[in-house]
Amino acid sequence: MISKNLEITALIVHILSFLGDTATIYFNNNIEVKFLCILNGCQHLLKIYRILVYGFALLNAPNWFCYLHGIINAFTNEASITTSCLIVFTLYIALIFPLFYSEHYRKKRPLILAFVVIYNLSYTIFILYEPLVVGYSAEYLAEAENCSSAYRNHLYQYVMGSPLFNLPFNILTIFCTGVINYKIIMVPRKSLKKQITTMVKMSFSRCVKILFYCFFLTLISFVNLIQDINNGINVRDGYFKEKEVIGVPYLLTASSGILILIFTNSLNQIKRKFGIRVKDDDSINDDEEYMLPHNKDDVNDINSITASHS
């Protein structure tokens, strides 16, 4: 039984995370970061509604809400992982292949974001096959305590709701992070700051914070993958009965919007948004997106900086 204090704690954290996502959408003009906040914010809205209307345990929740909660939770989790990988890959392309980024990536951005949605929905939707197509018995529903995951009870449902299908993107993210870190180590800090400021239109420190957050989320997804597969196997073999609890892993996930606010924004950026003049700042006033110079001469200048220190 979930205590009332834990339930209130979870509710407060979800509300703060939703406010963090909303604030980041306002302060940060990068499209990929905004998209991540929209996905994350939808998840927190769902959890807030869940706790306020049905309580965390969902004891009297209708089946339709359990199924809706299960698919939205799985989709937003997996799409957030893909988007975090995309943010790291975007930084990698902008720093290593600036000409390609400036000429091709920004034009194809809507298609890339559409791919994130379609790709993750294409497999998470299968967690609803059992409840909607096959159907659960009244006896099973009466005894089950995992309404939040759409009453999943088969290994394939755990697999479809796990980060398994994001594994290729996670591996690519690790590679891109390694290359970016190599640049940070090898290129003199002054030159690197100039390169990042010119290409991605943000301060060096904020770039590093975003990189760290996305890489951290990628590592966490590996842990979640192992846990999901193990739980699915144990459920299949009858050794485990799923029941969501409010523990450290849950509260850490619930605080994702707060972490996004901290890691993707800077105080100077917030000050500029409110029209406050900022001095001694190495970031760019026009922080619209990970923008690159629009002409090849500027890109060639950037390439010369990179080549001279590689």
Token pair of 75 as six digits: 């989709």
What pTM, to 2 d.p., does this model score?
Answer: 0.86
**177 and 98 Cβ atoms separated by less than 8 Å:** no
To the nearest whole number, what is the mean pLDDT of the chain?
85
Q: What percent of the chain has pLDDT over 90?
A: 55
CB 258 within 8 A of CB 16: yes
For residue 307, pLDDT over 60 is answered with no
Looking at residue 285, its pLDDT comes to 41
* 58-62, 106-110, 127-131, 269-273: segment of lowest average pLDDT: 269-273
Residue 299 near residue 293 (C-beta atoms within 8 A):
yes
Site of tokens 């807030």: 48
Q: What is the pLDDT of residues 228-265, one digit of tens each?
A: 999 999 998 888 889 889 998 899 999 999 999 999 88
Q: How confident is the model at residue 279 (pLDDT cuts 50, 70, 90)?
A: low
294 pLDDT tier (thresholds 50, 70, 90): very low
The Cα–Cα gap between 34 and 25 comes to: 5
Domain 4-308 of CATH type 1.20.1070: yes
Residue 281 has pLDDT above 60, yes or no: no
pLDDT of residue 183: 82
Closest CA to 70 of 132, 21, 117, 8: 132
Q: What are the structural domain ranges in the chain?
A: 4-308
3-state secondary structure the chain: CCCHHHHHHHHHHHHHHHHHHHHHHHHCCCHHHHHHHHHHHHHHHHHHHHHHHCCCCCCCCCHHHHHHHHHHHHHHHHHHHHHHHHHHHHHHHHHHCHHHHHHHHHHHHHHHHHHHHHHHHHHHHHHHHHHHHHCCCHHHHHHCECHHHCCCCCHHHHHHCCHHHHHHHHHHHHHHHHHHHHHHHHCCHHHHHHHHHHHHCCCHHHHHHHHHHHHHHHHHHHHHHHHHHHHHHHHHCCCCCCECCCCHHHHHHHCHHHHHHHHHCCHHHHHHHCCCCCCCCCCCCCCCCCCCCCCHHHHHHHHHHHHHCC
Residues facing residue 145 across a β-bridge? 243
